[in-house]
Structure 1
C-alpha cells in the first residue's frame, strides 16, 4: 500500500541536501574542537555526527525503496541498517534536549553555571546519550534475529511483517520510546526555550540579534520535534493500541529523515563558530547580493 517512488524521492532529496550541509558543519566543529571548544560545540558536533551516520546508512534504505520496499540483502545487514537508522533519530532528539538545557541554564543561572560549564561534562553527557539511544534501539537485533520455527521461506522485507511473538515484545518497547525518548525531551525543550525567550526579553540590555537567534533556535528545535519526529513516534502509540504496526508507518519515517536537513539551521542559530565559518559567510554574501540585484532590477523604470 506504500508508494515506493515517493519514499525513494524523499530519501534522495534528504541525502543530496543533508550530506553537504552536515559535512560543512562537521568540518567547522572539528576545527573548533582542536582549539577551545565550548560545551555547546561538543553537543553540536555530536548532533552533526549523528546526522552523518544516518546519511551514511540512508543509501541502504534508498536501495530498499528502489526495489519496491523489498529486502534482497541479508537479514544481518537489515538489522545493522535499521539499528543505526533508528538510533540516530533518537540520539538527535536527546542531543537537542541537551542543547536546550545548556542554553537555559546559561541564561537562568549565568554565574553559577559558568563555574560548572566545562567541556568534560558535555562530552560525558554526549556519551551517555549515545549509550541510551543505542541501548534502546538494540531491540532491532532482538526482533530481527528472533528464531521463528514456523518460517518456511526467507523473509524478503526488512524489519516488517512481525509475528505475534515479536509484537508482544516490540510494541510495548515502542510505546516506551514514545514516552521516554520522545515526549520527555520535547517537554524539556518547550520548558527551556519558553523560559529562555522570557529571560531574554525581560533584560533590556540584551541585543535584538541575540533575541532573534533565541526565537529562531526555539522554532527550529520545535519544528524538528513536531514536524520530523512526531509522526513516526505517533505510529508507536497507534501500533501499541491496535496491536499492529500501521500501514502508513513507512510514510512517517520520511519527515524523520528531513531532520538532517533542518539541523544545520540549529547549528546556525546556536553556534557563532558555524555562523562565522567561511562557507556560511560566502553563502550569506551571495544571498544578499542576489536579493539586492533583484531589488535593483525591480525598481529600474521601464
Structure 2
C-alpha cells in the first residue's frame, strides 16, 4: 500500500510516496531515542546529586527535564510515521505528542539563550559567584517559562478537537477547529519570535565572549600563562549545538511554509522542501543527545559527580568479580 500525502500549491495533484518518512526517519528517531534516553537518564541521575547553587545549574536542570520530555514523544512519532500501528494513533500524535515535541523544543531554545547569557557574564566576571537571591530569581524565571510555554501549547491540544478519521489524520491541521487553526498560526509566530530573539542573544553574547577571550589571550601572552584560555574555549560548545540543531530547521521552515500556502513552487520543489524540513526537524531532536556534552564540558559539578558515579560503578563491578572468583575457588 502506498503512503501518500498531498501538497497544496500550484499543482493540486502533487503527491509523493512517503517512503523516506516511513523507513529512514523512524530508524533515525529510534537511534536517538535509545541514545538520548540513556544519556539523559544518566544526566538526570547526576543532577539529582547536585544542589542548585548557581543560575547555570538551575538552567541546566530545566534543560535536561525538557530533553527527557521530548525523547518520550519519539516512540509515538516512530510508530506513526512507520505505519506500524493503526491510524488512530496518528490522531493522538497530532493532539498530544507533536504539541509536546514543539513545546519542549522551544523551552530548550529559551534555556540555551539563558545559559549563553550566564556564560557571557561568567567570562566577563569570572570571579563573581551567584548569590542566593539570584539563584531564587533563576528558579522563579524557570517556572514562569514553563507556565508560559504550557499556556501557549495547551490550547493547541484542546482545539485539535475534530474526530479523527482515516482521511483527516493524514494532516494534523484537518483535526483543528477554525479557531484552532488561528491559534496554531499565532503560536507559530510566537515560536519564531522566541527562536530569533534567542538566535540574536547567542550571536551577540558569543561575539562579546570572543572579545573577552581575545583580551584574555593577549594578557596571558604577556604573562606567559595559558591555562585559563584553554578552559574558557569550551564555552563555544553551546553555540555549536544551537547552530547544528535549531538553525537549519528555522531557515528551512520559511520556504517550506511558503510551499504549503502559496502557488510559487513546482511539485518536485515542494517535495524536496518537505524532505529538507523533515531532515532538519530530526536535527532539532538530536539536541536531546548533544545537550549532555554541554553539561559535561561546562559544568564542573556535573563532571565531578558523573566521574565519581562511574568510578563507584567500576569499583563495585570489580569487587563483585573478585567475590565471584573467590567463591568459585573455595573448596566444598
Superposition TM-score, scaled by structure 1 size:
0.77
Q: Does the CA contact (< 8 Å) of 1:105 and 1:113 recur in 2? A: no
Correspondent of 1:253 among 271, 281, 290:
281
* Correspondent of 1:18 among 36, 44, 52: 36
Structure 1 residue aligned with 2:54, among 38, 59, 79? Answer: 38
Q: Relative to structure 1, is the Cα distance of residues 176 and 114 closer, same or farther in structure 2, using a 3 angstrom cutoff?
A: closer
2:211 pairs with 1:198 = yes
Q: Aligned partners of 1:188, 1:280: CA distance in 2, in Å?
A: 35
Q: In 1, Cα distance between the equivalents of 2:149 and 2:228?
A: 32
Say yes or no: does 1:187 pair with 2:200. Answer: yes
Give the corresponding residue for 1:296: none
Q: CA deviation at 1:253?
A: 1.5
The separation in 1 between residues aligned to 2:80 and 2:227, in whole angstroms, is 45
Q: Distance in 2 between matches of 1:242 and 1:8?
A: 24
Task: Provide the rounded CA distance (Å) in 2 between the counterparts of 1:95 and 1:236.
Answer: 22
Residue in 1 that maps onto 2:328? none
Name stretches of at least 5 consecutive residues in structure 2 with no aligned partner: 1-15, 262-269, 315-332
Within-5 A mapping of 1:91-110: 91-109=107-125
Q: Which of residues 81, 95, 99 in structure 2 aligns to 1:83?
A: 99
1:272 alignment counterpart: 300
**Does structure 2 retain, via aligned residues, the 8 Å contact 1:97–1:185?**
yes
Look up the SS of the partner of 1:32 in the other structure: coil
- Partner residue of 2:134? 118
CA separation of 1:236/1:131 partners in 2, compared to 1, >3 Å: closer, same or farther? farther
Instruction: Point out where structure 1 has 5 or more consecutive residues left out of the alignment.
Output: 287-302
8 Å contact kept, 2:49–2:305: no
- Give the equivalent residue in structure 2 for 1:230: 247
2:232 is the alignment partner of 1:214: yes
Q: Report the Cα distance in structure 2 between the residues aligned to 1:71 and 1:109, rounded to whole angstroms.
A: 55
> Who wins on radius of gyration, i.e. which is larger?
2
RMSD: 3.4
**Residue of structure 2 in register with 1:157 after alignment:** 170
SS at match of 2:172: coil
Compute the TM-score of the two structures, normalised by the length of structure 2. 0.71
C-alpha distance in structure 2 between counterparts of 1:272 and 1:163, whole Å: 46
